[in-house]
Chains A and B, each alone.
Chain A
Amino acid sequence: MDFGFILSSAAGELFSPTTAAYALATLGLAVHFGYTGLLNFGQAGFMAVGAYGFAISTLTFHVPFFVGLLIAVVCSAIFALLLGIPTLRLRADYLAIVTIAAAEIVRYIVTTNQLTSVTGSANGLAAFEGDFYAMNPFPPGTYIGMNNRDFFIRVVAWIVVAVFCLLVWLLMRSPWGRVLKGIREDENAVRSLGKNVYAYKMQSLIIGGVLGALAGMIFTLPRGAVQPANYGTELTFFLYTCLLLGGLGTVLGPVVGAMIFWVVLSLTQGILYGLIESGTITWLNTVQAGQLRYILVGVALMLLMIFRPQGVLGNKKELAFA
């Protein structure tokens, strides 16, 4: 078993664009659930809206990169509005069911064969990332063991994550952020102070959703392809695992959580595959090893929620639930 390779590929996951995308989407969830107490189970839908909004506007309408980015962000804001109007006045579990249903509706719509010319149905869309890489300021060469494309997407992804972490941090220590936390603790108390709780919740839903959409773009850009199968309900559940790992009501928690999630997944895969190849484990094949990792994710989510709901960085007093 090549421990050097296993460790280096696990370390590579620390700063991979996928980890950045998970961190950003989880940050959106932290705004929703950690700070406002909104139980959004449709973050995968927001990511899909972002990724498809960008890919479709680039491929079908041939708009420049930043216009496509703007369209994706606007689409996700509209999606948040549509979700929020019927559900934000209702109890938390209604929002959960409606958001998960809406995310699945998005996935069904981009999968249907009726819209193959626009969405590419089950095969998805590809070759929309040209404009992005055309902006690459790094000349071809090797940067810390990566080519200039891989290096560029990592730099951009983590700058975006850092900027939004800062932004969320500033927002949450502003008076606006304190109202959000107040809503999380006691909605009626905040309402009795004359605040429009509905409007605050809607703003929170939109901000977190836009973060999800940007994460969806970061997720698809390095792959150069967007496929509906990536945006199932499991994605949202993995994001919740990251959120609970890192800490609900924190800014850096989502980043730490996403890093731990991917490093652990990579480590377990490397070790299990190594043991199988060396013949130490014979009761498992490599496909089953992949499934074993997701069993661990599920069990980890349960144990975290039961025994350490505040995660690595969180504060037990700042939990979004009683």
Chain B
Amino acid sequence: MRSTTSGLSHRRRGRLLRAVGAVAAAVAALLLVIAPASGAATPSPTPSPSATQFTNSISGFLRGDDRAPIPGVTITATNGDFTGTAKSGANGAWTIGVPTQGTYEVKLDESTLPQGIKLAEGQDNPRKVTFSQTSNLSVIFAFGKGIVVAEQNFGQNLLNRLVAGLSFGLLLALASVGLSLIFGTTGLTNFAHGEMVTLGAVLVFAFNGMHLPFWLAILLAVVGGGLFGYVQDAGLWKPLRRRGTGLVPMMIVSIGLALAVRYIIQFYFGGATQQLPFAQSAEILIGPVSISPNNLLSLLVSAIVIAALGVVLLKTRLGKATRAVADNPALAAASGIDVDFVIRIVWVVGGMLAALGGILWAYYRPGVTFDMGSQILLLIFASVTLGGLGTVWGALVGSIIVGIFVELTTVFGLAADLKYVGALFIMIVVLLFRPQGILGRRERVG
């Protein structure tokens, strides 16, 4: 039962040690570019632990009922002995950095409003706002008498959340399909997948900071994600497979890798939340659905990418080989398929998909942080488990269910800071009754 490692030669031991070092070095090198980049991209250079810069913020846009921005209005946020002040900019935007998440009293100084503009009827000022688990909180002040701040129509709200959930689910699917492919072909439950997600968004931020065109930044970030997948497999996982390391030890190695990469990213990127370009956008109406252009674009991009992946898996030789390896590696090898090559491709594709998912996740949240990937790692696991470990279509179905479920629970009265709990809870309940997941086969459960 137990593979002996005593026969391991010193030469191979040294090679593996070098390999682990190579992975760490590769991540560090990939991130080195960020150190100058983050300075270039933000008005205040690299996040430092000074008292004035906080990781959390309260922000919003001030717009009149004619949608024109309202500049120069003073807004204050207070909580205990902390007071932060901001003035709305030329585009009406304001942001107050706050030290901790919690409850704040936000007050708009009505004496600083331009003439002829008044807060709408029924707008509380000052008002108490509360946030947790997100690092940014939007506060909306409505102006003019034309605006009626009524309870949003329930059906309308349901529809909006459904579409938002679909968008979230599809971006989750990008990450979970990769995880599921990796699990299917190698059996590894990869806890470092969250960091592969983070890397995509962080790289876009870095390349954008180097003043590269936006499309090039995204392209390079996705390539960087694929490269990370390649280096991981070449430097770490393949040597471990060669050694015959068990799946549980590999899982624990992936945890170590996740910790190391997460803190390497924080080392270069800092603890603050940064925004990618075009992160702020007003919602638009398409038919009855109100959606932000970013979410719509994210929905389309992920749908197209997943459809393309599906075509590749079903129609091409490589896709068939991948499915064969996932089904039975030994048999696939016997039929002349280069299993190691297929696994390498799966790691590269998985890394690229995760990076793309990370970029979309940065727009969905919105914001880039060093731990943004580990925040959704469990949702990715939940999607994959829900759909059936190791099945690609299961991961897609599971992700869409999780995405929609997360968004819909807030419509049905669950507090926003508990919305992930519902998805995790559903996963546990599904395991009770159908442990193989929705599309999984019983034999995989073991």
Contact = CB atoms under 8 A, between A and B. Distances in A.
B431 A87 contact: yes
A294 B267 CA distance: 10
B320 interface: no
Given A101-B428, A292-B267, A114 B418 contact: yes
Nearest to B381: A97
B100 interface: yes
A112 B102 CA distance: 10
Interface in A100-123: 100-102, 104-105, 108-109, 111-114, 121-123
Contacts of A113: 103, 130, 132, 415, 417
Interface string B257-294: 11111111011000100000000000000000000000
A306 B255 contact: no
Given A114-B418, A121-B132, A322-B246, A300 B378 contact: no
Interface stretch (B147-155, B200-208, B212-220, B419-427): B419-427
Contacts of B415: 112-114
Contacts of B24: 299
Nearest to A300: B256
Interface stretch (A216-224, A271-279, A283-291): A283-291
Interface residues of A, number: 60
B132 A93 contact: no
A126 B415 CA distance: 25
B1 interface: yes
Contacts of A104: 378, 420, 424
A82 B248 CA distance: 23
A108 B424 CA distance: 11
B382 A92 contact: no
Nearest to B384: A97
Contact of B266 (A291, A299, A307, A309): A291
Nearest to B239: A306
B29 interface: no
Contact of A97 (B1, B189, B421): B189
Given A108-B420, A122-B101, A94 B431 contact: yes
B100 A233 contact: no
Contact of B424 (A39, A105, A301): A105
Given A101-B378, A306-B253, A297 B259 contact: yes
Contact of A39 (B101, B248, B263, B435): B248
Nearest to B102: A122
A109 B421 contact: yes
Nearest to B370: A291
A98 to B, nearest CB: 6
A319 interface: yes
A34 to B, nearest CB: 12
Contacts of B245: 306
B424 A85 contact: no
A291 B245 CA distance: 29
Nearest to A309: B249
Given A113-B415, A233-B374, A98 B431 contact: yes
Contacts of B119: none
A240 interface: yes
B409 to A, nearest CB: 12
Interface of A: 39, 85-87, 89-94, 96-98, 100-102, 104-105, 108-109, 111-114, 121-123, 185-186, 233-234, 237, 240-241, 244, 285-288, 291-292, 294-295, 297-307, 309, 316, 319-322
Interface of B: 1-3, 6, 13, 16-17, 20, 24, 48-49, 100-103, 130, 132-133, 189, 240, 245-249, 251-253, 255-264, 266-267, 271, 374, 378, 381-382, 385, 389, 415, 417-418, 420-421, 424-425, 427-429, 431-432, 435, 445-446
10 contacts: A114-B417, A122-B100, A237-B256, A298-B261, A298-B263, A303-B17, A304-B256, A307-B16, A321-B246, A322-B2
Given A90-B446, A316-B6, A319-B2, 7 more contacts: A90-B431, A93-B248, A97-B189, A104-B378, A295-B267, A303-B20, A306-B20
